[in-house]
A and B are shown apart, each in its own frame.
Chain A
Amino acid sequence: MSRRISFSAATREGVLEEMRRDSNVMVIGEDIAVMGGTFALTRGFLEEFGPMRVRDTPISESGFMGMAVGMAMRGMRPIVELMYNDFIAVSLDPLMNQAAKLRYMTGGQITIPMVLRAPMGAGRRNAGQHSQCLEALFMHIPGLKLVCPSTAYDAKGLIKTAIRDNDPVVVLEHKLLYAKKFEMPPEDEEYTIPLGKADIKREGKDITILTWSRQVLFALEAAETLQNDFGISCEVVDLRSLVPLDWETVNASIKKTHNVLTLEEGVMRAGVGADLSAQITETLFDELDSPVNRVAGANVVSPFSPPLEDAVFPQPQDVVAAVRRQLNV
């Protein structure tokens, strides 16, 4: 029997299963133990696993990020939670200069099997310091893996794989996905999703939309409109994992549609789409029937005003307009 649960409940299930499976897995972050997390993701964990594996911390991101790296070096599997991905700014050094680099710099003697979970994204009127999508920033650091699920099913399957991975994996979860409910297999049916495997969320033949996280839902909405109103068939490729990237799926989709649009909520300048576009142009130039087109957030600080905020990041109608422009329909 199928069941419908929220994105956050699915993520919780994934973490819970892994904590029961492996006693080295622990969670650490602000308000996660007694309070159970801002999005109730770790509710009940303290009671089940005790304070040694479910650690509340002071507001000290740099400190507990460093602790997690140290624990991971000693064989534990910490899951660090940042309340917002924006707070990476105060805690980046342990992640960027230690976690991401130690395996390489010790010739493989040390691995850092840690996971950083962080909510991201705009749409909740959280203003400039709590609304960013920072995928591009993490992607730019060699040694980090980066996962951005869009559905409950993917969230659970990917967090489990991330926890089992022996390298640092960053999992960015869009805030406005947490409450969304999705179809799920039964609770006792265990599954994982490998990193670096995209998922074609909608098949199509005229244009490929490369996207991830919440924008997958927008792309699907736009694809429906484009099909019904303009007869354009969109293939929506949910990249799911940005590092490693499933180039094979991207490549096959572009060779089928010959038109590509990248779609992300983060700002366009030096964004993920810029890099995807460059890779595609370098390797698939002769397959392109139109220039790679980017739809992304405006290059501005996320506004607090609701109408302004909604205007700043892509909405489904922006995708519809961009596809029509690209295909001149």
Chain B
Amino acid sequence: MSKQILMPQYGLTMEEGAVEKWLVKEGDVIKEGDVIAEIVTDKLTNDLVSEVSGTVLKLVAAEGEDILVKGVLAIVGEPGEAIDDAPVPQAEAAPAVPAPAAAPVSQAAPAPVMAPGGRVKISPFARKVAEKNNLDYSALTGTGPSGRIVVKDVEQALASGGVAAAPVAIPAGAAGVAVAGDEVVKMSKMRKIVAERMSASAREIPAVTQDIKVDVTKLMTLRAQINEGREVRISVNDFVLKAVAKAIRQHMDVNVSMDASGASIIRHQHINIGMAVSVPGGLMVPVIRDADKKSLETLAHEAKDLAVRARDSKLDPAELQGSTFSVSNLGMYGITSFTPIINQPNAAILGVCTAEDVVALDKEGKLYNKKVMTLSLTFDHRLLDGAEAADFEKTLKTLLEEPLQVIL
């Protein structure tokens, strides 16, 4: 009997993926545990490990083709065994997949209408109204809980002439138009996700950015001392991460999220810092858990490891989830101030800027040189007020200006 190899689900929020590269071809003999393909999902590349042994009879999924979770990728069996050539039902009777969590603890992508398995989530009443009006509801976007299509969505579609309205219509003026010579490139999965998350954050959050200048002269000296003779160097960013974790512990009111109802605030007890890492074609935010409990050295190691693996697409999905605060560093590019976008469901994100040489006057009126770095904190004004955010920034400044406090 031939067996099907299905698209696995890496992480709760994965809905579809593609075979980036087949590592076997039809006719190959494989055994359980063999890596047979590379699967690319939203943000990650994973090895597909076969759970069956046999001869590869058919590679159903083409490289690059999007396949829903539990969709058929390949068929394995005895050599020469006849396989059903009928169109393979994609994800038929797919097991229930946990609904995309609305709770802010997970960084779920916007809930899709098409649940894994091809079922359209629609309320019974909405379906009845749609069918009565001969409306194809499969392309509608639901606005009910968990993305369910409710009657309002059907009524809106009917009102707009039965055309399935896009959920967030782009005003005609805002869309780009390619003219001769322009190149039109399909967005990668990661680009799309980054775009969606950024839009959602900018749309939903009343964000405020407050800059503070920090004298990092002592920090730079201390860092140089520490790094002397060290193989793995401690970066300014590592100091900032450590200081942020310490400052949060003193200001737990920044370590919060809004719950799904919008009526409660979740006060997180763990300080998990998301670290924005630029990767080819996009951005990832791996998470350093319990950052306040880790030594500067451990933290530096972990940050480096996460950044390297992020660039190599080798992160585990779990490593991208559960942040309670994020840090984005553009200092190495010479940026002097910016307004980072909040990584939902965090309440704030810290933008770290470059350290600049500044001429200052000492007490005797003599000129001296100091290094000043700007920190740009963007926060969600629904959850935090300016004074609370400023307090947090002040603590951060104090820590970084007396950097031994960061290490202690």
Contacts and interface: CB of A to CB of B under 8 A. Distances in A.
Contact of A288 (B125, B143, B260, B263): B125
B144 A286 contact: no
- Please indicate which of the listed interface residues A286, A289, A324 has the most CB atoms of chain B within 10 Å of its own CB: A289
Interface string B234-254: 000000000000000000000
A325 B260 CA distance: 8
Contacts of A324: 261-263
A290 interface: yes
Nearest to B259: A321
Interface residues of B, number: 16
A326 B126 CA distance: 15
B301 interface: no
A109 interface: no
B151 A289 contact: yes
B145 A285 contact: no
Contact of A328 (B125, B126, B144): B144
Contacts of B192: none
B151 A325 contact: no
Interface residues of A, number: 15
B128 interface: yes
A321 B125 CA distance: 23
Contact of B125 (A258, A325, A326, A327): A258
Interface in A67-93: none
Contacts, number: 42
A321 B261 contact: yes
B150 interface: yes
Interface of B is mostly: loop
Nearest to B262: A324
A176 B318 CA distance: 50
Interface in B124-166: 124-128, 143-145, 148, 150-151
B265 to A, nearest CB: 13
A165 interface: no
Nearest to B145: A328
Nearest to B153: A289
Interface in B81-140: 123-128
B124 A326 contact: no
A325 B261 contact: yes
Contacts of A285: 124
A289 to B, nearest CB: 4
Interface string B249-287: 000000000001111000000000000000000000000
Contacts of A321: 261, 263
A288 B126 CA distance: 8
B261 A290 contact: no
A111 to B, nearest CB: 43
Contacts of B263: 317, 320-321, 324
Contacts of A286: 124-125, 127-128
B206 to A, nearest CB: 18
B260 A290 contact: no
The 7 closest A-B pairs by CB, nearest first: A289-B125, A289-B123, A289-B151, A258-B125, A328-B145, A286-B128, A286-B124
